[in-house]
A and B are shown apart, each in its own frame.
Chain A
Amino acid sequence: MRRFVIFCWILAGSVTALTLFQIKQEVLELEHGIKQVHSDILRDQEAIHVLEAEWSYLNHPARIAALAEHHLQLAPIPAERIIGFADLPFPGEPQEEEGKDEPATGPATLVTAPAATLGATNR
Chain B
Amino acid sequence: MIRRYFVRSQTKPLPPATAAELPSFDLQGGRPVELRLDGTAKQALETGRTRLLVAAVSFALAFSLIGWRLIDLGLMTDRHEPSIARDLSSGGLETGRADIVDRNGIVLATTLPTASLYANPRHVRDPEAAAAQLATVLPQASAAQLGAKLASERSFVWLQRNLTPRQHDAVNRLGIPGLYFQRERRRFYPHGALTPHVVGFTGVDNQGLAGIEQSFDDVLRASVKPLPLSLDIRIQHILSEELARSIDTFSAIGGAGVVMDVTTGEIVAMASLPSYDPAKPAAAAAEARFNRASLGAYEMGSIFKIFTTAMALNEGVVTLRDGYDTRQPIRISRFTIRDFKPKNRWLSIPEIFMYSSNIGTVHMAMDAGTPAQQTFLKRLGLLQPANIELPEVGQPIVPSPWREINTMTISYGYGLAVSPLQVAGAVASLVNGGTAVRPTLLKRDPAKVAKGPRIISEETSETIRRLMRLVVAKGSGRKANAEGYLVGGKTGTADKLAGRRYARNARISSFVAGFPMDKPRYVVFVTIDEPKPTKETHGYATGGWVAAPAVNNIVTRVAPLVGIAPRDNGNAMIEQLLVEINKSAEGRQLASN
- Is A76's beta carbon under 8 Å from chain B? yes
Beta-carbon contact of B567 and A45 below 8 Å: no
Known: A77-B560, A122-B569. A56 touches B190 (CB 8 A): yes
A46 touches B93 (CB 8 A): yes
> Known contacts being A50-B112, A82-B565, A122-B569, is A61 close to B190, with CB within 8 Å?
no
Given contacts A35-B82, A79-B482, A80-B483, contact A118 B568 (CB under 8 A): yes
- Report the minimal beta-carbon distance from A33 to chain B, rounded to whole angstroms: 11
Q: List 17 A-B contacts (CB under 8 A).
A: A31-B82, A42-B84, A56-B106, A56-B108, A60-B194, A60-B237, A61-B237, A65-B237, A77-B560, A79-B482, A79-B559, A79-B566, A118-B483, A118-B484, A118-B569, A121-B569, A122-B483
Contact B112 A41 (CB under 8 A): no
A84 at the interface (CB under 8 A from B): yes
Residues on B with beta carbons closer than 8 Å to the beta carbon of A2: 1
Cα of A112 to Cα of B188 in the assembled complex, Å: 48
Q: Does B81 contact A (CB under 8 A)?
A: yes
CB-CB contacts of B70-106 with A at 8 A, as 1s and 0s?
0000000100011111001000110100000000001
Indicate whether A62 reaches chain B with its CB closer than 8 angstroms.
yes
- Residue B589, interface by CB 8 Å: no
Across the interface, A52 reaches (CB within 8 A) one of B110, B233, B556, B566, namely B110
Complex interface: chain B residues within 8 A of A34 (CB) = 81-82
Q: How far is the CA of A42 from the CA of B88 in the complex (A)?
A: 10
Which residues of B150-201 are within 8 A (CB) of A? 188, 190-192, 194
- With a cutoff of 8 Å between Cβ atoms, the chain A residues found around residue B484 in the complex are 79-80, 82, 118
Candidates B95, B191, B234, B571; contact of A56 at CB < 8 Å: B191
Q: List residues of B (549-574) whose CB comes within 8 Å of A's CBs.
A: 556-557, 559-560, 565-569, 571
- Chain A residues, CB < 8 A from B565: 82, 84
Q: A62-B237, A78-B483, A79-B566 are in contact. Are A121 and B82 (CB under 8 A)?
A: no
**CA separation between A38 and B85, bound complex, in Å?**
5
Q: A35-B82, A53-B188, A76-B556 are in contact. List 9 more A-B contacts (CB 8 A).
A: A31-B81, A49-B112, A52-B110, A54-B190, A60-B191, A79-B485, A79-B566, A80-B484, A118-B568
Q: Which residues of A contact B233 (CB under 8 A)?
A: 61
**Interchain CA distance A45-B484 in the complex, whole Å:** 47
Residues of B within 8 A of A (CB): 1, 77, 81-85, 88, 92-93, 95, 106-108, 110, 112-113, 188, 190-192, 194, 233-234, 236-238, 241, 481-485, 556-557, 559-560, 565-569, 571
**A57 lies within 8 A of chain B by Cβ:** yes
Which residues in B have their C-beta under 8 angstroms from that of A39? 84
Task: Specify the main secondary structure of chain A where it touches its partner.
Answer: helix
Contacts of B1 in A (CB 8 A): 2
Our count of residue pairs bridging A and B at CB distance below 8 angstroms stands at: 95
Contact between B557 and A76 (Cβ–Cβ < 8 Å)?
Answer: yes
A45 in contact with B93 (CB, 8 Å): yes
B557 and A62 form a contact (CB under 8 A): no
**Residues 2 to 23 of chain A near chain B (Cβ within 8 Å):** 2
| A-side contacts of B234, CB under 8 Å | 61
Contact of A46 among B113, B194, B237, B485 (CB under 8 A): B113
Q: Tell me if A59 is interfacial: C-beta within 8 Å of chain B.
A: yes
CB within 8 Å for A122 and B571 given contacts A57-B190, A60-B190, A61-B234:
yes
User: With a CB–CB cut-off of 8 A, which chain B residues contact A65?
Assistant: 237
Nearest CB on B from A108, distance (A) = 19
Q: Which of A41-75 contact B (CB under 8 A)?
A: 41-42, 45-46, 48-50, 52-57, 59-62, 65
Give Cα distance in the complex from A84 to B568, angstroms. Answer: 9
Q: Are A53 and B107 in contact (CB under 8 A)?
A: yes
Q: Which of B77, B83, B190 contacts A53 (CB 8 A)?
A: B190
Task: Report the minimal beta-carbon distance from B99 to chain A, rounded to whole angstroms.
Answer: 8
Q: Which chain B residues border A27 with CB–CB below 8 Å?
A: 77
What residues on B are CB-neighbors of A42 within 8 Å? 84-85
**Contacting residues, chain B, for A82 (C-beta < 8 A):** 484, 565-566
A11 to B315, CA, bound (A): 102
Q: Which residues of B contact A48 (CB under 8 A)?
A: 93
Give Cα distance in the complex from A50 to B99, angstroms.
12
Report the bound CA distance from A39 to B190 in whole Å.
27
Cα A56 to Cα B282 with chains together (Å): 24
| B103 → A minimal CB distance (Å) | 14
Complex contacts, B559 vs chain A, CB 8 Å: 79
Inter-subunit contact A49/B82 (CB<8 Å): no
- A residues in contact with B84, CB < 8 Å: 35, 38-39, 42
Nearest 4 pairs between A and B by C-beta?
A79-B484, A79-B566, A61-B237, A57-B190
Decide: B568 and A38 in contact? CB cutoff 8 A: no
Query: Which residue on chain B has the smallest CB distance to residue A41?
Result: B85
Give the chain A neighbours of B190 by CB distance below 8 A: 53-54, 56-57, 60
Instruction: Check if A49 sits within 8 Å of B85, measured CB to CB.
Output: no
A49 CB contact (under 8 Å) in B93, B192, B241:
B93
Tell me if A52 and B191 are in contact (CB < 8 A): no
Within the complex, the shortest CB–CB distance from A30 to chain B, in Å, comes to: 9
